[in-house]
Amino acid sequence: MLKTITIFLFGNIFSYEGGQRNATLDNTFYIRRGNWNIKADEIVLSVFIPFSKKNEFVFGYKQAQRRENAAAIVNAGMRVLFEDDTDIIKEMSVAFGGMSETSSLALTTSRGSVGRKWEDQLTLDVVQWLAEDFPSPPEGISGQMPYKRALACSFFFKFFHRVQLELRKGSGMEDATVSPRQTLPSLTRSISRGTQVFEEVPPDQPKHDAVGRPLQHKASLQHATGEAQYCDDMPLVDGELHLALVTSTRAHAKILSIDTSEALALPGVEAFFGHKDVPGSNIRIVLSSGEEIFASEEVTCYGQVIGAIVADTKTHAQRAAKAVKIEYEDLPTVFTIEEAIAKESYYPHEAKALIKSGDTERGFEQADHILEGEIKGGGQEHFYLETHVARVVPRGEDGEIEIFCSTQSPSTAQAIVARALGLPMNRVCIRTKRLGGGFGGKETRYVTLIPVAIAAFKLNRPVRGMLDRDEDMLISGGRHPFLGKYKVGIDSVGRFKALEATVFLNAGNTSDMSPEVVSASLYCFDNCYHIPNIVLTGILCKTNLPSNTAFRGFGAPQSMLVMENIIEDVAVSLNIPSHRGAALVHVYQEDGSVLITHGGVEMGQGLHTKMIQVASRALQVPVHKFHINETTTSSVPNTTVTAASTGSDLNGMAVLNACKTLRRRLEPYIAGNPGGSWEDRVKAAYMDRISLSATGYYKVPDTWDDNYVPVEGQQTTQRYYTYGAACSVVEIDCLTGDHVSVVFIYLLSCNSVTDQASSLKSKKSKYILAFYKYLYITSKVLRTDIVMDVGRSLNPAIDIGQIEGAFAQGYGLFTIEQLRYSSEGRLITNGPNTYKITGYGDIPVEFNVSLLKGASNPKAVYSSKGIGEPPLFLASSVFFAIKDAISSARAESGLKGRFRLDSPATAERIRMACEDQFTRQPYSSLRGLPLLDFIRPNFNCVK
């Protein structure tokens, strides 16, 4: 569209009544967004595109939130025509998208340039002309207007130098007189490449022993071909109904009335369910806190569930849900952490965590330097491919119901449903074959499951419900946004003397798992650094946003980012380098095949594959003999939630214990028939009436004794640690905020990290030691190397895949993903069109992952380690590499010292932090904007 305006295309338009007419595709043609100067009965027959002329140059530019499949924040088309054999402008047209309600010409800029020489002064004049062309922020896009204006100026600056280079070439003045910097090319990337390094199994390991071998994911082919069955893939049965939720359109209000008459009169509608229709308790308990299943008198966030409509089709149910009329009385709202602090809107004191060690007052007295600072980070959407879904089938006898659902914690789901229906737990069976992703978002937020269960139970008919993406994002919550405030004392050589820090988490409208998240956040705060005197406080802010919950990392990424930012601030200020389960196993006598049922949930992470490998070694049977059907509470009761990187540790040891029991029972038959087959031995045992089923159970040994007091901060809170190191090289475009990265990740032991750091120092690079240790280099963002200590990997292929995936998710958290809300508390970025996660173009150009050789871990199954969460924080290496690159750009402009960069480091924040004449231009007042960005950047520079 921009090029059509820029080169003045002509359209041949025809209608039956009016005949033909020609129209110039310019400002008069594009009236407003979605509205062109074409009548309802007209069609465009053709478009005339003229050839370019001698001395005419046309270029286009675009900056988006992500490299691919993302709408432009600002795009531009620019054309200039010179007088023959001169640098005098004869014609110029500059058009922009994203600067106003529709794509439009910058008329003042285009006209003012005519007759001017192509010289440096022109760029300064264009800055002023563009301010006149786009004087006030248009409604709906004004939230980024300072950035957009800086982009517009930067695009022209790029255009100016590109044309200047072409003019030099045309006059015979080749590149020798032009530095590479003056050409100002856009960042480009080549095809991604990388290496995956792991330790091979010993040559004498039996072939049937699968532990340590890089077996492919058990269901990988089904995933790739679409044959893998998920909950909503189950075929409909006769009489099955569909459910849609009725949610709040207010962030905080009293419910005055609910009118369902219009909704119930619509075709296909069966019933409406609200808080009065819950057979058991309307309060669902999550850990120690409770929240209503259906809001009864008051709503406390936009999207809170008030009721549910059941109909014969999903379309009918959703249509009727929108037809429910609810009258509200609005109440005061709190959305941001800053607002919560100002109004002291916190959850009760027991949700306030505290860790204390040493004497901070004395430590600050011993310090030579005392620094204070803040860093803020936004939330993150889980964005699992499969949204919340449940299908409930009443069995019609003794109140029994069978539930197929997407949950990470079948036993928790079982208990919550039983409480809501007023049934004993033995009447409720939860079945989960696989999840289309979880990341912590399906541990407690049963927003669909419980209403579906209530509807099925009350109507005595099968009911299913699956949220659309926008509904899921609106309702289910995500990672906690945070604000970290700190005061740190260091001596003259950079050693820590004292640290006092407070981490504020935006918990949302209920506490859910937030008390545990904030506690875990503080336990991980100091990372691998030793601080002799420390006081850490965690505070949960009570706001009117949907309740936030568990997310991969469980509070650690937030607090560890604060700690790494402290390291960065200290290094800059002192001008020193910044060093820095249960299981059940059945054996079938007919063919010797083995069925494993365990308490873990397969959600794409390869847990089932690893469990088969564990059983394969324990029973000394090839992997093709094993099968895992599903996770169900009727086979394995009292399951533990599959989360926090514990799936393999807990369930693996349980599977191992069950297999050892079976192996002991079969030992006489193995000894009596040493040359016999597995099938023969199994059949012989069966004929002797030996049980071929065994149950295994595993309890993690106590990490601390019953007298452990976390306030003392002297004992470990973890059974073992997973170490890692990542080195990322980034390159930023200071004119647009775009960046490209390369990452290296190493999972190492502590001693190995020191050795690696020494080698990096010899290359004049910066490095960081981290808990899940990581290193980063800043020069160009082109590569990432990761090394991780995963102990003796059960399956290197799956573990490396988890490392790469966790890094990609962390990359999104720290650089791309940004949740935006309206001033009414409604999520605006509620789908893939507006909320961008890491794409294939964001993967490092070179991505190398290595598993540390020779490591072991006697505290977990077959010396392995949990791997799901630790690699995520390694992506912060990209964040700090970007910050260092920004620092270099600022230094060129005379800006030195500390500056604040909040997370995520989006293109907007990168560009605006690289302060120059384009970012400092005056802007009209932005007061009263319709959009409220709850994580709006702060670019104040401490000089």
Tens-place pLDDT, residues 635-687:
666 566 555 555 566 677 777 777 888 788 888 888 878 877 878 788 888 77
**Residue 331 in tokens:** 């109440």
Lowest pLDDT segment from 176-190, 505-519, 554-568, 746-760 = 746-760
Q: Which of 208, 313, 223, 309 is nearest to 261 (CA)?
A: 309
CB-neighbour burial class of residue 672 (10 A; exposed 0-12, middle 13-18, buried 19+): exposed
Helix (H, G, I), strand (E, B) or coil at 803: helix
- What amino acid occupies position 912? M
> Is pLDDT larger for residue 45 or for residue 313?
313
At residue 177, does pLDDT exceed 60?
no
DSSP state of 143: G
**What is the pLDDT confidence band of residue 387, given thresholds at 50, 70 and 90?**
very high
* Higher pLDDT pick, 751 / 610: 610
Distances in whole angstroms, Cα of residue 943 to Cα of each of 367, 890, 897: 22, 11, 5
Q: How high is the mean pLDDT of the chain?
A: 81
Whether pLDDT at 625 is above 80: no
Most confident of 527-536, 633-642, 734-743: 527-536
pLDDT at 846: 85
| 600 band by pLDDT with thresholds 50, 70 and 90 | low
User: How high is the pLDDT of residue 720?
Assistant: 63
Q: 470: which 2 tokens?
A: 């926008």
Q: Is 869 a catalytic residue?
A: yes
In angstroms, the CA 643 to CA 721 distance is 16
DSSP state of 851: E
Average pLDDT in the 828-855 region?
A: 86
Structure-model confidence comparison of residues 594 and 698, the more confident one: 698
The amino acid present at 549, given as its one-letter code, is T
SS3 readout for 653-697? HHHHHHHHHHHHHHHHHHHHCCCCCHHHHHHHHHHCCCCCEEEEE
649 vs 144, which has greater pLDDT? 144
Catalytic residue among 270, 292, 869, 908: 869
Query: Positive or negative CA dihedral for 435, 437, 438, 442?
Result: negative
pLDDT exceeds 90 at position 270: yes
Question: In the predicted model, what is the mean pLDDT of residues 125-138?
Answer: 83
Is residue 712 over pLDDT 60? no
Q: Strands 631-632, 428-432: parallel, antiparallel or unpaired by DSSP?
A: antiparallel
Mean local confidence (pLDDT), 229-251: 96
> What average pLDDT does range 876-897 have in this prediction?
87
Cβ–Cβ < 8 Å for 467, 388? yes
Query: Do the beta carbons of residue 615 and residue 626 sit within 8 Å?
Result: yes
| Residues 465-478, mean pLDDT to the nearest whole number | 96
> In degrees, to the nearest 5, what angle opens at C-alpha 690 toward C-alphas 687 and 691?
125
Residue 224: which residues within 8 A CB-CB, separation 6 or more? none
* pLDDT for residue 119: 92
Could you tell me the sign of the dihedral formed by the alpha carbons of 403, 409, 411, 416, in that order? Answer: negative
Task: Say what the pLDDT of residue 635 is.
Answer: 65
| 170 vs 731, more confident | 731
In this structure, are residues 193 and 846 in contact, taking their beta carbons and an 8 Å threshold?
Answer: yes
Q: Name which of 591, 642, 596, 648 is nearest 619 in CA terms.
A: 596
* Helices vs. strands in the chain: H and E counts, helices first: 22, 38
Q: Which of 457-461, 805-809, 839-843 has the highest mean pLDDT?
A: 457-461
For residue 442, give the 3-state DSSP assignment.
Answer: coil
* CB-based contact 598:671 (threshold 8 Å): no
pLDDT higher than threshold 70 for residue 83:
yes
Q: Which residues make Cβ contacts (< 8 Å) with residue 678, sequence separation at least 6?
A: 592, 621, 625
Residue type, 655: V
DSSP letters along 737-763, please?
--EEEEEEEEE--HHHHHHHHHHHHTT
Residues 6+ apart with CB under 8 A from 178: 165, 168
Taking residues 236-265, report their average pLDDT.
97
Q: Report the pLDDT value the prediction gives residue 561, as an integer from 0 to 100.
A: 93
Q: Mention every residue, 6+ apart, whose C-beta is less than 8 A from residue 763.
A: 777
State residue 621's pLDDT score: 82
Mutual angle of helices 796-815 and 876-892, in 10-degree steps: 40
Sheet with 594-598: strands ordered across: 626-628, 594-598, 582-587, 693-697
- Tell me how far apart the alpha carbons of residues 730 and 676 are, in angstroms, rounded to a whole number: 60
Helices 514-523 + 556-574 axis angle, to 10 = 40
Lowest mean pLDDT among 47-56, 77-86, 642-651, 682-691: 642-651
Under DSSP, is residue 413 helix (H, G, I), strand (E, B) or coil?
helix
**Three-class DSSP labels, 56-120:** EEEEEEEEECCCCCCCEEEEEEEEEEECCCCCEEEEEEEEEECCCCCCEECHHHHHHHCCCECCH
- Say how far apart CA 268 and CA 241 lie, in whole Å: 10
- Mean pLDDT score, 925-942: 31
Q: How far apart are CA 125 and CA 105, in angstroms?
A: 17
pTM greater than 0.75: yes
| CA–CA distance, 679 with 689 (Å, rounded to integer) | 15
CA distance 257 to 301: 17
Task: Give CA separation, 269 vs 210, 263, 321, 389, 848, in Å.
Answer: 53, 8, 10, 20, 55
How confident is the model at residue 937, as a pLDDT? 31
**Tokens representing residue 914 in the block:** 């690289």
Burial environment of residue 891 by CB neighbours within 10 A (0 to 12, 13 to 18, 19 or more): exposed
Q: What is the mean pLDDT of residues 742-769?
A: 35
**Would you state the pLDDT for residue 942?**
28
CA distance to 248, 254, 257, 259, 464, per residue, from 328 (Å):
9, 6, 7, 12, 29
Residues pairing with 259 in the sheet = 325
Does residue 426 have a pLDDT over 70?
yes
Query: How far, in Å, CA of 595 to CA of 630, rounded?
Result: 10
Question: Which domains does the chain show, CATH number per domain?
Answer: 2-180 (3.30.390.50), 232-249+252-332+385-437+442-476 (3.30.365.10), 337-375+484-574 (3.30.365.10), 582-697 (3.30.365.10), 723-885 (3.30.365.10)
User: Across 45-49, 63-67, 121-125, which has the greatest mean pLDDT?
Assistant: 121-125
The pairing of strands 283-286 and 369-377 is: unpaired
Q: Are 333 and 248 in contact (CB under 8 A)?
A: no
pLDDT category of residue 366 using cuts at 50, 70 and 90: very high
